[in-house]
Amino acid sequence: MILSFSRLLIVSALMPFAFMKGASFGANKKMNVILIICDDLNDYVENFGGHPQARTPNIKKLARTGVSFVEAHCNIPICNPSRASMLTGLYPHTSRCYGFEHWDKNEVLNNSRTIMDHFRANGYYVLGTGKVMHNRDRREWEDYGHPADYGPFANDGGEKDISHPDVPSPFAKDFGAVDGSFGPLKDLQGKISDSTGKPLIWKTGNWKTKRELRYISDKDRDSTGDELNAQWALEKLKSLSKSSSERPFFMGVGFVRPHTPLIVPQKYFDMFPLETISLPKIRDQDATDTFKHTLNSNEDDRGGDRGTKMHDSLVSSFQGDKELALKKFIQAYLASIASIDELIGKVIDFIDKSSLKDNTIIVFTSDHGWGMGEKGYLYKNSLWQESTRVPLIIRSPGSSSAGASCDVPVSLVDLYPTLLELCELPNNTMKNSKGRPLDGHSLVSLLREPRTGQWAGPKAALTALYKWSQNYIPNEQSYSLRSKRWRYIHYANGKEELYNVNEDPQEWNNLAYKSEHGPLLRTLKNQLFDRISHSEPSASNKEIKKDAEYWKSKFFEKYPEADTDKNGKLSWKEHKIHKAKITPKK
């Protein structure tokens, strides 16, 4: 009897520990992940210091519960290759994806798992909506909501989308329904198209499919694409929060704004009265010691440097009043960001009030930034701070320091290995030997101790530059290295830029051609090429040398009638127009 009672005491004494063990086991099951990504969002976010009037209270709220990486940079500042890099964890020089090719046609990307595919292969329920990827959306997700929707677009009542009717020319005409369009979503009643004579309407959708968007007033209208994505995410989260399934989930939510066209409801414009808009610090003639324009890039079908052309066209549209022109554009950009912040807030608020709060990692970021007139440049795809820097906030319950800030230069390629470590998943992400292992480094040590700066990653963030080509040789591209103290830029033609970002955060003074910095330049150049030296050309030298001009010349030989102005030369605009005429519609 005494023995039996003793055993009972022992069992009773161990019960709390058994409960703790059970609780610990439950708490240690795989974490859920929500990846929220915006398109073309620079550092115009509260706590990131990009614009003093930015209104992002919900993103700021997330920052108070997670770690803000205030020197996070993209790996290439344009949509398709940036997302390819981030979602496969591979640098552009590893995959050779520097442009807009389909990922399935790239051997390395096609044989390396995307982050959602890898999570699915390891037991996760993967679901997504909106523009997270740039290719493959429906195939990579088990459950896919709405495709990327770039609208609203003003439409001439027929087949052609046009710039917002409030945007003057030449900007409206030069850059059209996407990059040349900004203004409030409003009633178009009484607005008639000059070209068709029909009433203007709103449309929304993507390059493949568009539908009419009904608008009577802000309170009586169809939902925008971004609003539909937030609604879809909330519905799924409600279901997941009530589910008894032990299967963890990985959810991607992609918002298009503030990608152009910068068209959102009037109430967001009202938050930023035009006369109050602050302009960024812009130095006159700041581009005189820079060299991006020397690349003669065919960034668009007209050739030349698109960012400079957009800036000059916008200013010209407001009779040379640069201050007014930039205020108009920045107002629309800030309004677009505010609209997305409200949607992000709904998602975060639901998580924080649900059973998902303590076992769900939230990542918020963008694919790249956007220049707002600095260096006479209004666009993405530069190697300066405005294009490369992105907001990055990670909240990982139990693993991240609440409200902390980390100024270590990191990049989007580091997200994949970070989430693998947090979720305790294997880091072999190759489908087979044709794939490549992850290039990035986990940020977990920085999540736990953000102020120490101790991690296994490199001391400088690496960013490549998109320049149209038929094939890409990694060591012949343009790159930037951004460390805590320096930004070093090496262009494909050998031109260099060097900025001491501690003393010159606006990157106004190019120090590259000051003799005292010669040894530093050589060191940084060696570091850069050491980082990309493991790359080998994926095609023969003969094939690689077939560049854009070669293929255009072959097209001209076959279709001489494409030369509509009969000057004996085929422009990129003529090439595009004629190619569209002869390409069968799907």
Three-class SS state of 406:
strand
Burial-class residue 337 by CB neighbours within 10 Å (0-12, 13-18, 19+): buried
Rounded to a whole number of angstroms, the distance between the first and last alpha carbons of the chain is 86
Query: If you average pLDDT over residues 316-334, what whole number do you get?
Result: 98
Q: How far apart are CA 576 and CA 169, in angstroms?
A: 22
Q: How far apart are CA 91 and CA 88, in angstroms?
A: 9
Query: What pLDDT, on a 0 to 100 scale, did the predictor assign at position 551?
Result: 63
Q: Is-contact 94 107, C-beta < 8 A?
A: no
Q: What percent of the chain has pLDDT over 90?
A: 79
Nearest residue to 258 (alpha-carbon basis) of 486, 517, 51: 51
What is the DSSP track for 363-399? Answer: EEEES----SSGGG--SS--SSHHHHEE-EEEE-TTT
Give me the half-sphere count of Cα atoms (radius 13 Å) on the Cβ side of residue 120: 15
53-94 per-position pLDDT tens digit: 999 999 999 999 999 999 999 999 999 999 999 999 999 999
Residue 62 dihedral angles phi and psi, to the nearest 5° = -60, -40
Query: What pLDDT, on a 0 to 100 scale, did the predictor assign at position 103?
Result: 94
Query: If you average pLDDT over residues 37-57, what whole number do you get?
Result: 97
Query: If you average pLDDT over residues 323-336, what whole number do you get?
Result: 98
| Banded model confidence at residue 257, pLDDT cuts 50, 70, 90 | very high
Mean pLDDT of the chain: 90
What is the token pair recorded at 507? 């990157």
476-488 per-position pLDDT tens digit: 999 999 999 999 9
| Banded model confidence at residue 331, pLDDT cuts 50, 70, 90 | very high
Query: If you average pLDDT over residues 420-437, what whole number do you get?
Result: 97
Query: What pLDDT, on a 0 to 100 scale, did the predictor assign at position 470?
Result: 83
Give me the half-sphere count of Cα atoms (radius 13 Å) on the Cβ side of residue 264: 29
Pairing of β 125-130 and β 461-464: unpaired
Neighbours of 540 (CB within 10 A): 9
Does the pLDDT at position 363 exceed 80? Answer: yes
Query: What pLDDT, on a 0 to 100 scale, did the predictor assign at position 354?
Result: 97
Does the pLDDT at position 7 exceed 80? Answer: no
Does the pLDDT at position 291 exceed 50? Answer: yes
| Banded model confidence at residue 539, pLDDT cuts 50, 70, 90 | very low
Does the pLDDT at position 230 exceed 50? Answer: yes
Query: If you average pLDDT over residues 447-470, what whole number do you get?
Result: 94
Does the pLDDT at position 3 exceed 70? Answer: no
Of the listed ranges 192-196, 314-318, 373-377, the one predicted with least confidence: 192-196
Q: Which CATH architecture has domain 35-149+224-544?
A: 3-Layer(aba) Sandwich (3.40)
Say what the pTM is: 0.88
Query: If you average pLDDT over residues 94-98, what whole number do you get?
Result: 97
Residue 318 DSSP one-character state: T
Give 365's strand partners: 37, 392
546-578 per-position pLDDT tens digit: 456 656 776 777 788 888 888 888 888 888 788
Q: How far apart are CA 559 and CA 549, in angstroms?
A: 15
Query: What pLDDT, on a 0 to 100 scale, did the predictor assign at position 11?
Result: 36
Residue 308 dihedral angles phi and psi, to the nearest 5° = -70, -40
Q: Where are the domains of the chain?
A: 35-149+224-544, 548-582
Q: How far apart are CA 237 and CA 250, in angstroms?
A: 11
Query: What pLDDT, on a 0 to 100 scale, did the predictor assign at position 549?
Result: 66
Name the more confident of 86 and 134. Answer: 86
Does the pLDDT at position 29 exceed 60? Answer: yes
